[in-house]
Amino acid sequence: MKKLWYNFFKIYIQTGLFFYTKKIKIVGRENIPKKGAVLFAVNHPNGLMDPLMVTTNTPRITHYLVRAAIFKKPMVKKFLATLNLMPIYRIRDGVKELSKNTEVFNDCYDILNQQQALMIFPEGSHDRRRTIRTISKGFTRILFGALEKYPNLKITVIPVGVTYQNSSQFPCKVAIHYGKPILANELYNPKELNKSVNSVKEAVSNQLKKISVHIPLDENYNKVLQRLNNNNIDFTKVTATNQMIQSGNVNAHTSGYNYGKLIKLPFILNSILPWMLWKIISKKIDEIEFVDTFRFGIGISVFPIFYLLQTYIIYTFYGATIASIYFLATLLIALLYSKSAATPTE
């Protein structure tokens, strides 16, 4: 029953993302093992959108760790648990809360031992800057803890790079790159644990810098980013963009006509109440990394209810035929707007 519910919700989120994004580009899906224990090590530029993007674009049923703050309400905690979300506690949650991670980690060991998939964000926090930050050793504790508890277990680590054209704008293009498999067992030596930790961190970090856009976080970061933005670079062309960053030779990309301008007004007029609600909520969002999270949340909840309500009102006054035409036209307008509007750089 839980698997059925998980797959239903996954399809629902996939549908929402289809309308929410201009394009989702998937590269390297063949690198994902069909069976066996898998740990997805994902970069983290865009709040809760990152796990949703990866989860809905992998054939594996995935468990993943997210910040404990969203689990405070009991009903929310139960709901998230049905979708395989688990809390991870940090110092900011309180020193006493950190002890709860022991139980969470044990659950992770068992998930891997059951030949399932686990998703972790080894950078430790979200940050929309286009760089791969220092990899924390926290995820290696789960990785090597599982191998210590289950010596015969084989765990494959798959680095995953998620790159957004502009993670704060709607609609947005996204690229998801699955890296080459890393067999953790080959890097694990319990007698030289620190060396093993550094080896895994280095292997994951090196791949993430290739499969997502990586601008070294030094004194030149802002200059490089500004130059890329000025030339309208398509960041979802990850390999080409990284080559430009390394060579310093930035080639401008030309943008076509923004047909979304023609559809934006009909879209807003047909969605005026949820659109106004989003405008109010957006002013209260403190972290830019959560702009997409809240916008998408409203998009898959409030907008469909509003459209169905309008369809019902039209049905009441004009009958099923007109109501059906209106509903289909509504979907078409939303789809055309998301697929044809421009995706500006940041």
The tens digit of pLDDT for each residue in 225-279 reads 999 988 888 999 999 999 999 887 777 655 555 566 778 889 999 999 999 999 9
252 C-beta neighbours (distance < 10 Å), count? 10
Q: How far apart are CA 247 and CA 253, in angstroms?
A: 17
CA proximity to 67, closest of 37, 41, 94, 107 = 94
**Please, are residues 155 and 188 in contact by the beta-carbon 8 Å criterion?**
no
Q: Which CATH number fits domain 2-211: 3.30.300.130, 3.40.1130.10, 3.40.720.10, 3.40.50.300?
A: 3.40.1130.10
**Please, are residues 317 and 192 in contact by the beta-carbon 8 Å criterion?**
no
Give the start-to-end residue ranges of the domains of the chain.
2-211, 260-340
Residue 286's pLDDT is what? 87
In terms of phi and psi (left: phi > 0; alpha: psi -120 to 50; beta: otherwise), the region of 124 is left
Q: How far apart are CA 277 and CA 281, in angstroms?
A: 6
What single-letter DSSP state applies at residue 89? -
For 290-330, write each residue's pLDDT tens digit: 899 999 999 999 999 999 999 999 999 999 999 999 999 99
Q: What is the DSSP string of 186-255?
A: GG--GGGHHHHHHHHHHHHHHHHHHHS----SSTTHHHHHHHHHHTT--TTSHHHHHHHHHH--PPPPP-
The answer, as to whether pTM is greater than 0.85, is yes
Q: How far apart are CA 142 and CA 200, in angstroms?
A: 12
Burial class (CB in 10 A: 0-12, 13-18, 19+), 118: buried
Burial class (CB in 10 A: 0-12, 13-18, 19+), 91: exposed
Under the banding of pLDDT at 50, 70 and 90, the label for residue 62 is: very high
User: Has residue 289 got a pLDDT over 70?
Assistant: yes
**Please, are residues 132 and 207 in contact by the beta-carbon 8 Å criterion?**
no
